[in-house]
């Protein structure tokens, strides 16, 4: 009653139609204000949900990979270190694994490699081969490249440095 009394006093000089239009406008303004307040919150919520879903998918993939990583054993024991330039050794390892590099360059003792594989585990196996030849991994980036619905490829970018 207290809230409506000032409105009734103010609207006494107006026709019934004008009062309804003003009341409808007030209701629309209130609804719009609430929507303008809630819309950024909903948008942020949707973005966070999408981010959580992507992170959960990544976590599931990492858990699957963790199971297979335990299968990789250090098979470097008893192996002789190859002689030759760093580039020759890297190219030999890449050829053995039937990989063609998109980028294979050297800068100040660091080697930058970029290639695509069908299985991300192959990249991990490659890192093991590089480690056996005394290459230290300085940077690694593995990106999922969706070729089509049924074929997923992985792009690997790595920076290696020979250690003695």
Domain boundaries, the chain: 4-68, 85-162
The domain at 85-162 falls in which architecture?
Answer: 2-Layer Sandwich (3.30)
Q: Is the dihedral of CA 97, 58, 151, 100 positive or negative?
A: negative
Residues recorded for the chain = 164
Instruction: Return the number of other C-beta atoms located less than 10 Å from residue 120's C-beta.
Output: 20
Nearest to 109 by CA among 130, 138, 74, 150: 138
DSSP for residue 14: S
- pTM, two decimals, is 0.51
Segment holding 160, helix H or strand E: strand 152-162
Tens-level pLDDT at each residue, the chain (164 residues): 566 677 677 777 788 898 889 889 999 999 999 999 999 999 999 999 999 999 999 999 888 887 776 666 566 756 666 677 888 888 888 888 888 877 777 888 888 888 888 888 888 888 888 888 888 889 988 888 877 777 888 888 989 988 86
Contact 112, 105 (CB under 8 A): yes
């Amino acid at each position: 009653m207290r809230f409506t009394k000032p409105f009734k006093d103010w609207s006494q000089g107006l026709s019934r139609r004008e009062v309804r239009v003003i009341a409808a406008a007030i209701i629309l303004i209130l609804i719009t204000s609430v929507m303008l307040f809630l819309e950024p919150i909903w948008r942020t919520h949707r973005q966070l949900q999408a981010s959580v879903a992507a992170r959960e998918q990544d976590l599931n993939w990492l858990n699957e990979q963790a199971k297979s990583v335990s299968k990789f054993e250090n098979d470097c024991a008893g192996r002789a270190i190859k002689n030759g330039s760093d580039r020759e050794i890297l190219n030999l390892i890449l050829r053995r694994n039937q990989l063609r590099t998109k980028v294979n360059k050297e800068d100040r003792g660091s080697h930058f490699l970029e290639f695509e594989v069908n299985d991300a585990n192959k990249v991990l196996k490659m890192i093991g081969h590089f480690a056996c030849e005394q290459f230290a991994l300085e940077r690694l980036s593995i990106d999922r490249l969706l070729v089509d619905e049924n074929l997923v490829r992985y792009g690997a970018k790595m920076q290696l440095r020979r250690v003695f």
